[in-house]
């Protein structure tokens, strides 16, 4: 039962992480209105959709990736309509029919009996776009789902995590509603606030559609709950069995390789390997990339091979086109293994994004680090292993 408490606390902490920022405009779009008929159903829809999508992500299948991708497109379209309806409520039925009219009708439902359903639909749309930061606690939950596949236990854990996130957002929404009520007492303030929220919603959709959200949020290095989550895991979670020291599991099982033909450790004997578990929408992972790219450029000629093991957090990260585009945009030139079936993830018993495993020239794990940071120590270990490899080769000659 402690793991469920841990999942709930991890969800609560999402309000302090940067990954919640892109969806805040969508949630606060109904500020100042009844929480029971507007805010609550939005949060319920978001939590339920995230739970279903995250649970099914462990199943895999091209059909699921396609459904998730088209669902995201539909969600962005729906939220864009909502934003336009907030900005142009009078013109929506005349100038932009029928497109903005749909958003206008959704907004007008706030005062109708069907407002609960309309808000629930908006919550579902938000759930398609919400990608929480894959901190240690969510990593632990998703690692279990990846290992066991989609089942009731994993779904309940994800639902509890989503409930924790919904709780913290509900508190923020209630507080925001009070602020909204105070501000709209001023002459014309309500109209300006409504239009301002509409602008934020439209901007939020555009940022997510262009993929700018992860690039922007990766700069918020001061927003991180990783240390707090690590302490909670140490106190509440059961220890997970790790690979025995010195054993380096296989890299076989990738569904696709980018920037390289398929690789495996036997073919890399004599090289120092850094296996980096990441996913392209993980803010914490993106913050480590400048260091990885610098090490690749600096030490590749000396025998370092960096392999990015792309293990998806959510279903849309399984789409090969999305991953290929991200690899190009991020300027990654080292090999990337798409681990859509979590074969490599499970072989390493991994449970974190990002996670670094240093493997020596004999194929043994000599160092590992979970999460951000520790860059100086990691580079020192790389240099030491490269020197060790060179000395052994010279001695053999």
Angle, helices 226-236 vs 2-12, to 10°: value is 170
Q: What is the pLDDT of residue 96?
A: 47
Q: What is the pLDDT of residue 187?
A: 47
Spatial distance between the Cα atoms of 147 and 290, rounded to a whole number of angstroms: 30
Dihedral angle at the C-alpha atoms of 140, 356, 267, 346, nearest 10 degrees? 0
Q: Which residue is it, tokens 């991953």?
A: 323
Query: What are the pLDDT digits (tens) for 291-302?
Result: 999 999 999 999
Spatial distance between the Cα atoms of 351 and 384, rounded to a whole number of angstroms: 27
Q: What is the pLDDT of residue 54?
A: 76
In the chain, where the domains are located: 2-221, 256-396
HEC sequence for the chain = CHHHHHHHHHHHHHHHCHHHHHHHHHHHHHCCCCHHHHHHHHHHHHHHHHHHHHHHHCCCCHHHHHHHHHHHHHHHHHHHHHHHHHHCCCCCCCCCCCHHHHHHHHHHHHHCCCHHHHHHHHHHHHHHHCCCCCCHHHHHHHHHHHHHCCCHHHHHHHHHHHHHHHHHHHHHHHHHHHHHHHHCCCCCHHHHHHHHHHHHHHHHHHHHHCCHHHHHHCCCCCCCCHHHHHHHHHHHCCCCCCCCCCCCCCCCCCCEEECCCCCCHHHHCCCEEEEEEECCCCHHHHHHHHHHHHHHHHHHHHCEEEEEEECCCCHHHHCHHHHHHHHHHCCCCCCEEECCCCHHHHHCCCCCCCEEEEECCCCCEEEEEECCCCHHHHHHHHHHHHHHHHHHHHHHC
Superfamily of domain 256-396 in the CATH hierarchy:
Glutaredoxin (3.40.30.10)
DSSP-derived pairing of the beta strands 336-338 and 304-310 = parallel
**Who contacts 372 (Cβ-Cβ below 8 Å, separation ≥6)?**
224, 226, 284, 287, 288, 354
Report the b/e string of 183-215 with b at 16+ CB within 10 A.
Answer: ebeeeeeeeebbeebbebbbebbebbeeeebbe
Length of the chain: 397
Backbone angles phi, psi at 31, to 5 degrees: -60, 145
Q: What is the pLDDT of residue 295?
A: 95
Backbone angles phi, psi at 278, to 5 degrees: -155, 175
Angle, helices 2-12 vs 152-183, to 10°: value is 30
Q: Are 11 and 160 in contact (CB under 8 A)?
A: yes
Q: Which of 258, 276, 277, 251 is nearest to 333 (CA)?
A: 258
Q: What is the pLDDT of residue 55?
A: 74
Spatial distance between the Cα atoms of 45 and 345, rounded to a whole number of angstroms: 30
Query: What are the pLDDT digits (tens) for 74-124?
Result: 777 766 776 776 676 664 555 445 544 545 554 554 444 456 777 788 788
pLDDT in tens, the chain (397 residues): 667 777 787 777 777 766 676 677 777 766 666 777 777 888 888 888 888 877 776 655 555 566 666 677 777 776 677 677 667 666 455 544 554 454 555 455 444 445 677 778 878 887 777 767 666 667 666 666 665 556 677 778 788 888 888 888 888 777 766 655 555 555 455 566 667 767 777 777 777 777 666 666 556 555 555 566 666 655 555 544 455 456 788 888 899 999 999 998 888 888 999 999 998 888 788 889 999 999 999 999 999 999 999 998 877 788 888 899 999 989 999 999 999 888 898 888 887 888 999 999 888 999 888 888 889 999 999 999 999 888 777 776 6
């Amino acid at each position: 039962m402690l793991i469920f408490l841990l999942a709930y606390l991890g969800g609560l902490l999402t309000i302090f992480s940067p990954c919640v920022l892109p969806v805040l405009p969508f949630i606060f779009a109904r500020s100042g209105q009844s929480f029971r008929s507007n805010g609550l159903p939005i949060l319920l829809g978001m939590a339920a959709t995230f739970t279903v999508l995250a649970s099914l992500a462990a199943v895999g299948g091209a059909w699921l990736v396609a459904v998730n991708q088209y669902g995201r497109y539909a969600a962005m379209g729906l939220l864009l309509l909502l934003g336009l309806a907030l900005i142009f409520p009078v013109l929506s039925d005349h100038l932009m029919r029928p497109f903005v009219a749909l958003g206008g009708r959704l907004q007008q439902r706030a005062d109708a009996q069907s407002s609960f359903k309309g808000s629930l639909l908006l919550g579902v749309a938000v759930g398609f776009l919400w990608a929480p930061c894959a901190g240690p606690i969510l990593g632990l939950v998703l690692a279990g789902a990846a290992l066991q596949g989609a089942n009731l236990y994993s779904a309940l854990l994800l639902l509890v995590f989503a409930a924790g996130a919904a709780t913290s957002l509900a508190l923020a929404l209630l507080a925001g509603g009070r602020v909204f009520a105070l501000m709209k007492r001023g002459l014309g303030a309500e109209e300006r606030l409504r239009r301002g929220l509409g602008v934020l919603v439209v901007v939020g959709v555009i940022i997510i559609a262009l993929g700018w959200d992860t690039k922007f949020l990766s700069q918020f290095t001061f927003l991180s709950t990783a240390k707090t989550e690590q302490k909670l895991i140490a106190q509440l979670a059961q220890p997970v069995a790790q690979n025995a020291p010195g054993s380096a599991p296989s890299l076989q099982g990738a569904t696709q390789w980018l920037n390289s033909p398929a690789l495996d450790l036997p073919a890399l004997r004599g090289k120092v390997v850094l296996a980096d578990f990441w996913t392209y929408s993980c803010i914490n992972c993106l913050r480590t990339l400048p260091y990885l790219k610098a090490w690749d450029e600096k030490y590749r000629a000396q025998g370092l091979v960096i392999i990015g093991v792309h293990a998806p957090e959510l279903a849309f990260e399984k789409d090969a086109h999305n991953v290929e585009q991200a690899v190009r945009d991020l300027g990654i030139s080292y090999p990337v293994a798409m681990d859509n079936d979590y074969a490599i993830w499970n072989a390493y018993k991994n449970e974190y994004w990002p996670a670094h495993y240093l493997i020596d020239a004999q194929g043994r794990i000599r160092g590992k680090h979970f999460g951000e940071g520790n860059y100086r120590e990691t580079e020192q270990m790389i240099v030491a292993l490269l020197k060790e490899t060179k000395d052994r080769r010279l001695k053999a000659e």
